[in-house]
Chains A and B, each alone.
Chain A
């Protein structure tokens, strides 16, 4: 199943022009699923993506607007679109001129997929105890 998920994520990379990488991590930064565009070496530390966003999302949830769902961060050459899907974090890394709206929609579509991963993790964790 893991291979099918990776293939599914790699296909997603072709749906949006400029999308370089799709990563699913837990809140501690452990990478669960990763898909990179060919010839793309990500200029970031993957494990830092998850935990840095988790901190930012927790703080953003204290603004009185209920739970933070996503954060878009735009840099000079890149943009990060990150989603807080309960226990897992989905991160898209794309060129700064990529279509942010499409990436936001993609993340919403993937919520059901990350829910499956989260449930599987939870069951494995419960079984191990």
Chain B
């Protein structure tokens, strides 16, 4: 059942510059984590994505698919990219 998700996570982890990957569901629970990503971060990742989405909805217009924000958290020499699609949130740790 989780083969699809595992394949995606493995494929992303093998990409150049990727240090870690995490997928969270709509409840903030971890569906999979690779590399330096900790499963315990899933709640925070989902929360960041949800709050960023609320910011885009404030303008009052209908939210189209293109309005889904991508959040970038920079720390040290690394960056975490966070994006929600549907009920899932993906986070990628990059150097």
Contact A99 B40 (CB under 8 A): no
Interface-central residue, B24, B28, B30, by most chain A CB under 10 Å: B28
Distance A28 CA – B28 CA, assembled complex (angstroms): 31
Are A100 and B40 touching (Cβ within 8 A)?
no
Contact with A along B7-48 (1 / 0, CB 8 A): 000000000000000001001111000000000101110110
The verdict on B81 contacting chain A, using a C-beta distance below 8 Å, is no
Which residue on A lies nearest to B30, using beta carbons? A101
Q: Is A51 an interface residue (CB 8 A)?
A: no
Once bound together, how far apart are the Cα atoms of A105 and B27, in whole Å?
13
**B40→A105 contact, CB < 8 A:** yes
- Interface size bucket, B side? 10 to 19
Q: What's the Cα separation between A114 and B47 when bound, in Å? A: 25
**Which residues of chain A from 64 to 120 have any CB-CB distance to chain B below 8 Å in the complex?**
99-105, 108
A104–B40 alpha-carbon span in the complex (Å): 9
The B interface, classified by DSSP as helix, strand, loop or mixed, is helix
Give chain A residues whose Cβ lies under 8 Å from the Cβ of B47. 16-17, 99, 102
Q: Which residue of B lies closest to A103 (CB)?
A: B43
Query: Residues of A contacting B24 with CB < 8 Å?
Result: 101
Residue on A with the closest CB to B45? Answer: A101
Chain B residues with CB under 8 Å of A16's CB are 47
Judging by beta carbons under 8 Å apart, are B43 and A102 in contact?
A: yes
**Assembly CA distance A87 to B51 (angstroms):** 36
Contact of A108 among B27, B30, B40, B42 (CB under 8 A): B40
A100 touches B44 (CB 8 A): no
Please determine whether B40 and A102 come into contact, CB atoms closer than 8 angstroms. Answer: no
Between A and B, 20 residue pairs with Cβ closer than 8 Å are A99-B27, A99-B28, A99-B43, A99-B46, A99-B50, A100-B27, A100-B28, A100-B43, A101-B24, A101-B28, A101-B43, A101-B44, A102-B28, A102-B44, A102-B47, A103-B43, A104-B43, A105-B40, A105-B44, A108-B40
A positions within 8 Å CB-CB of B: 16-17, 99-105, 108
